[in-house]
Each structure stands twice: as C-alpha cells, then as structure tokens.
Structure 1
Amino acid sequence: MARVPELNHTAQIVHKYGDVSRETVERLQIYVDLVLKWQPAQNLIAPSTIPDIWVRHVVDSLQTQWNFPSAKTWVDIGSGGGFPGIVTAILLADVPDAHVHLIESNQRKAAFLRTALRETGSKGTVHPGRIESVAKEWRQGPVDAVSARALASLDLLLKLSEPFTRQGATAVFHKGQDFQREINEASHTWTFDLVEKKSLIDPTSRMLLLSNISARPNQEGVA
C-alpha cells in the first residue's frame, strides 16, 4: 500500500492551500488512514490516485466548505468514500449546531462513512439508500447546502438535489474541465444563479455554487 506523509508533512500540504487547525489536520489524517485501510475491500478511491490522496481528494474536498463557509447544515449526495462529505464534517466538527447528512446507497460504504464520522469525532448522519428515496422521506428539516463530487452530470445533479434546493439550499458541486458544456446543457432545463470559482488544484476545473434553482416550465420528471 502506498505510504502517506507524516502528520507534520500533511499539515504543510494542507496549509499550502488554506488555513486549518492542528486538530483538523489530525482528524483528516485519521480519515485518510481509514480510507487506506478500507481501500482494498471497498475501492473507495481510484487506486492510481492513492499516492496523491492528500491533494487529489482531501484538498479538493476541502474546497467545498471553504467556498461556502457560512453553511452549517449540509447534505452530501452520493457520498461514496466520503469526499467531500466527511471532509466537510471534519471542518465543521467544532462548529456549534453544524451537521452533515451523507446519502449513500451502497451499504458497505455507508458502514465506512459511519466509522469515519465516529473515529474523527465529526458530527454527521449517514442515510443509507438511493438519493431519490431518502429525499422523498426527508424529515430532518431545511439544509443550507448540497454537495456532490464526481457523481453525475450537472443536469442530473440539479434534479437529484431539487428536493433540498427548492427549500433554499445552495448547491456546491465540483466539476472538471468539461464544466462549461455541462452548464450550457443544464441551462436548457433549469434556471439558476451561478458563481464559478477556479479549482485550487486544477485550473481547468471549477467549483460551481448554484442558488435560486428552479426547473424551467414543462420539464418532465421534475417535482
């Protein structure tokens, strides 16, 4: 298994991109260790990215909360191995009333997410099930933000997150170099206010912050 940096080295990596507390770095290290421990059985991240896990996955995921720091209650859809949902929960671990809801249909990955929350001392709830089903039965009240990373096209993400965004949540999505095409395609189905922010780790990628989202008239399949 690929070796990850020592704690002081990981702090240097993270601080290159933004300021976090030592406690946060320690929690992130615990999480990375868990990812690597569970990786052989769960395939939580692409094997080729393991040597660069701190930049490719951790720092990339830190951007989610960094781009919307006022949000306290998050829903992370299609959480998988926890990037960015667990990272967001770690950043908010000491923030009063903060909470991250992680939706994941794979039961074994859901078990990993529960372990990651517990071991890092982060505040969150894992909702095992399909995004549509969990959203339909939602009883946890309004949320501030919805996040997703490497999950689906922007058009589909807006559909999946619609039960939350129609209540006022802002969507914070990671998108790669094809982001402009996805924005154009989604604009045929949805109206939204958009803020684009260049990715800290890849100048060709973007963090998209979408608010005031609504379906255009006569769009089938949208509640």
Structure 2
Amino acid sequence: MSRPARLAVEDGPEVLHGIFEVSRETVERLTTYVNLLLHWQKAQNLVAPSTLPEAWRRHVADSLQVVAMAPDAARWADLGSGAGFPGLVTAMVQMERLPGAHVHLIESNSRKAAFLRTVIRETGCPATVHASRIEDVSGELAGEIDAVSARALADLSELLAYTEPFQNHGAPAIFHKGKNFRDEVARAAHAWEFDLVERESLIDPDSRLLMISGLRPRGATGKGQTG
C-alpha cells in the first residue's frame, strides 16, 4: 500500500506568513484541505506529483496571493478549478472576513468535481461546484460575481474570452501566469483592450499575478488602456 506523500520539513502553514493574514480556524480548514489532497492524489492526478512535498507553498500560499489582490471581493468565480486552487483557498479565507462570501467553482471533470465537493463538505467552506463547461454557466453567474480567478488553465487570450461576461458586469479577473507572461499579454492585446495591474509572485519571482479589468474587444467603442 502506497503512503501519502510527505511534506518537506520547511513546508507547512508557516509559509503563509507575509502573504495574507489568516485566522487559526482558517489554517485548520486549510490543513484539512491539504490532507484530503494528499489522500485523493493516490488515486487521482489532482496536481503535479512533483509539487506535493511543497503543497503548502506551491498551492496554498500561491493561491492566497489572489485573495491579497482583491481582499474586498466576497463573491468569486473560479474557472477550471481542478484541485481547487485558488478557489477553495479563497472560500476558506473570505468566509470569516466578509458576509455573504461565496465561491463558484467551475470544473467540468467529474472526478475533480467530486474532490471539490468532498473538501467543501469536510471544511464547511461556502462554495458551489458547477460540473460544467465555463461557457455554459458564465452567463448565469456573471451578474453575481465580484471577481474571477483562474490558475494554470489557458493562454491569456482564451482566459479573457472566458471572463468577458463577468467583466461586462464589472468583475476584475486575476490570473497566475509564468515566466512567459509578457508574451501572453502582448498576444492578448492584439484582440482586447484592458487595464492591467501586474504583481510579482512571492512564491516564484519569475511568475506574475495579473489583475485585468475594463476588458473589451479591440476596436469597440470607447477608449481602453493596456499595460
């Protein structure tokens, strides 16, 4: 019988310090989440196996940076949620901070959706799983959302198309992007106009968190700004 992956000695809740303040109760929920991840990973490929020894840093702390960029957003849509990063982390953090906090997790893979529901049940975090394609639910949810997140899902141009219904209602989008983020921004700017806030990742100096707002197709009426 295989054993759950062991966390690196330096990897644990302490890596969250300096990113965003969380309560002891939130840390307890996040610990339950990580334990479930390690257990389910034995049967399902939820995250890259190489990241498991640093699950707190590579996944939880990395996700926490999203909340830090939009701390006042209570209602989120997390696109292509996968194992729940950053959406479930957002739900666990915001539930104690903001009345009415809720995260909609959109994940079409039924096995991953089952994992997400298990974490929600075990932690009591305010989230709903939509086992559907993004385009099938975005129109229904768009007017209820304060912010959108996505991590390791698609090229920026495709992500902007996914988020357009939400941004039409004023919800900014926050994306994790790797070292080639500037190339993705340049390609996206051929088709879209948008305002961009760029923040260096505290987890990986070569990565960035991009907050995009004011999105509209290039050539649409009105002035836009890219950064």
Distance 1:11 1:185 in 2: 37
The TM-score with structure 2 as length reference comes to: 0.90
Structure 1: give runs of 5+ residues left out of the alignment: 219-223
1:36 aligns to what? 38
Distance 2:201 2:174 in 1: 12
Contact 1:24 1:90 (8 Å CA) reproduced: yes
- Offset of residue 88 of structure 1: 0.6
1:116 aligns to what? 119
Q: 1:147 to 1:140 in 2, by over 3 A?
A: closer
- Offset of residue 108 of structure 1: 1.3
Could you give the per-residue CA deviations for residues 168-216 of structure 1, whole angstroms, max 9, x where no partner exists?
Answer: 1100000010010000000001000100001011111110011111111
Report how many residues are paired.
216
Q: CA RMSD in A?
A: 1.8
Distance 1:172 1:202 in 2: 16
Structure 2: give runs of 5+ residues left out of the alignment: 221-227
Q: 1:69 to 1:56 in 2, by over 3 A?
A: same
2:187 aligns to what? 185
Percent pairwise identity: 56
Distance 1:61 1:55 in 2: 9
- Offset of residue 15 of structure 1: 1.6
Contact 2:13 2:56 (8 Å CA) reproduced: no
Distance 2:30 2:17 in 1: 13
Distance 2:172 2:91 in 1: 17
User: Of the candidates 205, 211, 214, which is equivalent to residue 213 of structure 2?
Assistant: 211
Residue 159 (1) aligns with residue 169 (2): no
Residue 129 (1) aligns with residue 132 (2): yes
User: Of the candidates 77, 98, 105, which is equivalent to residue 108 of structure 2?
Assistant: 105
The TM-score with structure 1 as length reference comes to: 0.92
Aligned residue identity for 1:102: L
Distance 2:149 2:71 in 1: 13
Look up the SS of the partner of 2:77 in the other structure. strand
Contact 2:8 2:54 (8 Å CA) reproduced: no
Could you give the per-residue CA deviations for residues 15-65 of structure 1, whole angstroms, max 9, x where no partner exists?
Answer: 253321111111110000111111122211001111011111110011111
Name segments (4+ residues, structure 1) moved above 4 Å.
none
